[in-house]
């Protein structure tokens, strides 16, 4: 087997890259280690920036998002039950779209199926070879049979735990990391959302987030210790804890029900530098992780693959290496800005036992400053809806 671009990972990064390359006439094959249903079963992001909305449109997969997605013109922040609305529309004339990662993935998978593009699911023992040499290739087994995919370029879109970044020699890559001592316990429920806007709540008991997937399906999160076992959380315990962390009127209005998904996600900030190693390029969660508080992970992945697709199209269609040469430096600039915003949102909204009462007063002062400063609100708004 031979292709121009071997894409490792069929999550949102890999699927979008495949789509953009295919539109431009660049040949690509996706190799994914799980099944399509498994990929669709991972409940993750919910908020799309304008740049992501535009990219889905440009990729010709935005129709259902515009029909079913919810336009959000702001978010609510809460501090010990006190509410502050950040109105993006009034502050900077922009908005975001609530449309789940699962749906984005489904739409991209459907497009791939329509065009008959090659995706190899349930590939085992995926390994990448000679990306620093003349014959880059990917080996894997499928149904017990070994295969080799020869290629010009390998796109590492295989997430944080993938094989691509792990295959780079240690001395060729620098990593920057902060692991938070807590995670998010998330619950998906077939009930209307508790409020029109998302609510990001700081409380002495810990952070809580009220989010949604549609007008009939809601997504909620509470901060829990990093090593928390989801088995310790009955639905009832989750709802009690959520109610205790949000303001009383919202708690009163909360519609609960049996969870249809419940999981704990660890929180981490991580960046690898550089993102190119010969003919291997990293994008999305393979390259960086943000704590989810700023709703940036999926959006950052989409802006990476937009840049990577443009660079590869330039190389394969126009014969210029300028784009691939500048890919790493270009995307890292945007990545670090999103890392900063996600770190800041995380620092403002979570409880950090180690920072004591001084830390809580600083968080309170930050919240009060936001409440009284249009400039501070504009800064939050322009970062949340996505920097250019």
Q: Which residues are near ligand DHB by CB under 6 A?
A: 45-47, 198, 211, 219, 292-293, 295
CA 102/CA 48 separation, integer angstroms = 12
# residues near ligand FAD by CB under 6 A: 36
Residue 296 appears among annotated catalytic residues: yes
183 binds ligand FAD (CB under 6 A): no
387 binds ligand FAD (CB under 6 A): no
The set of residues, in sequence order, having a beta carbon less than 8 Å from that of 232 and lying 6+ positions away, is none
Q: From the list ligand DHB, ligand FAD, none, which binds 323 (C-beta under 5 to 8 Å, kind-based)?
A: none
The mark string for 242-271 relative to ligand FAD (x by CB under 6 A, - otherwise) is: -----------------------x------
Helix (H, G, I), strand (E, B) or coil at 197: coil
Residue 75 Cβ vs ligand DHB, minimum distance, rounded to whole Å: 8
Question: Could you tell me how far CA 286 lies from the centroid of its own chain?
Answer: 11
Residue 72 appears among annotated catalytic residues: yes
Question: For residue 371, what are the CA distances in angstroms to 207, 293, 351, 378?
Answer: 19, 19, 20, 11
Q: From the list ligand DHB, ligand FAD, none, which binds 293 (C-beta under 5 to 8 Å, kind-based)?
A: ligand DHB
Is the four-CA dihedral 289, 294, 298, 303 of positive or negative sign?
A: negative
Residue 369 appears among annotated catalytic residues: no
Residue 161 appears among annotated catalytic residues: no
Q: From the list ligand FAD, ligand DHB, none, which binds 219 (C-beta under 5 to 8 Å, kind-based)?
A: ligand DHB
Going by C-alpha positions, the residue among 271, 340, 328, 296 that lies closest to residue 52 is 296
Q: Which residue, 220 or 239, has its beta carbon nearer to ligand DHB?
A: 220
Helix (H, G, I), strand (E, B) or coil at 124: strand
Q: What are the residues facing 137 on neighbouring strands?
A: 129, 150
Going by C-alpha positions, the residue among 141, 54, 69 that lies closest to residue 106 is 69
- Out of 19, 44, 203, 315, the only residue in the binding site for ligand FAD (CB under 6 A) is 44
Count of helix runs (H) and strand runs (E) in the chain? 12, 20
| Residue numbers at the binding site for ligand FAD (CB under 6 A) | 8-14, 31-34, 39, 44-47, 101, 123, 126, 157-159, 162-163, 184, 186, 265, 284-285, 292, 295-299, 301
The catalytic residues are 72, 200, 292, 296, 384
């Amino acid at each position: 087997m031979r292709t121009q671009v071997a894409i490792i990972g069929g999550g949102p990064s890999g699927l979008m890259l495949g789509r953009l390359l295919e539109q431009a006439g660049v040949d690509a094959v996706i190799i994914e280690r799980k099944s399509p249903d498994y990929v669709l079963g991972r409940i993750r992001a919910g908020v799309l920036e304008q740049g992501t909305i535009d990219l889905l449109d440009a990729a010709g997969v935005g129709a259902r998002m515009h029909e079913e997605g919810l336009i959000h013109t702001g978010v609510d922040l809460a501090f010990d039950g006190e509410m502050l609305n950040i109105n993006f529309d009034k502050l900077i004339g922009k908005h975001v779209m609530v449309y789940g990662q699962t749906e984005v993935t489904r739409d991209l998978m459907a497009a791939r199926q329509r065009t008959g593009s090659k995706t190899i699911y349930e590939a085992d023992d995926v390994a990448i070879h000679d990306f620093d040499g003349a014959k880059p290739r990917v080996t894997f087994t499928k149904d017990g049979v070994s295969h080799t995919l020869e290629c010009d370029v390998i796109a590492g879109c295989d997430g944080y735990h993938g094989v691509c970044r792990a295959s780079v020699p240690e001395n060729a890559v620098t990593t920057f990391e902060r692991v938070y001592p807590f995670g998010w316990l998330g619950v998906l429920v077939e009930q209307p959302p508790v409020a029109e806007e998302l609510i990001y709540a700081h409380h002495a008991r810990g952070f809580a987030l009220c989010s949604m997937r549609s007008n009939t399906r809601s997504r909620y999160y509470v901060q829990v210790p990093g090593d928390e076992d989801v088995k310790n959380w009955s639905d009832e315990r989750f709802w009690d804890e959520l109610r205790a962390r949000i303001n009383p009127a919202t708690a009163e209005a909360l519609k609960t029900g049996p969870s249809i998904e419940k999981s704990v996600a660890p929180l981490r900030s991580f960046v690898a530098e550089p993102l190119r190693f010969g003919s291997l390029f990293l994008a999305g969660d393979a390259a960086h992780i943000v704590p989810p508080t700023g709703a940036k992970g999926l959006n950052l992945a989409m802006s990476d693959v937009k840049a990577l697709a443009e660079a590869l199209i330039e190389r394969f269609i126009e014969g210029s290496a300028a784009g691939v040469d500048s890919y790493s430096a270009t995307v890292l600039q945007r990545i670090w800005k999103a890392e900063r915003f996600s770190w800041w949102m995380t620092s403002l909204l979570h409880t950090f036992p180690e920072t004591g009462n001084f830390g809580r007063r600083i968080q309170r002062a930050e919240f009060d400053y936001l409440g009284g400063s249009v400039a501070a609100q504009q800064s939050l708004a322009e970062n949340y809806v996505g920097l250019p």
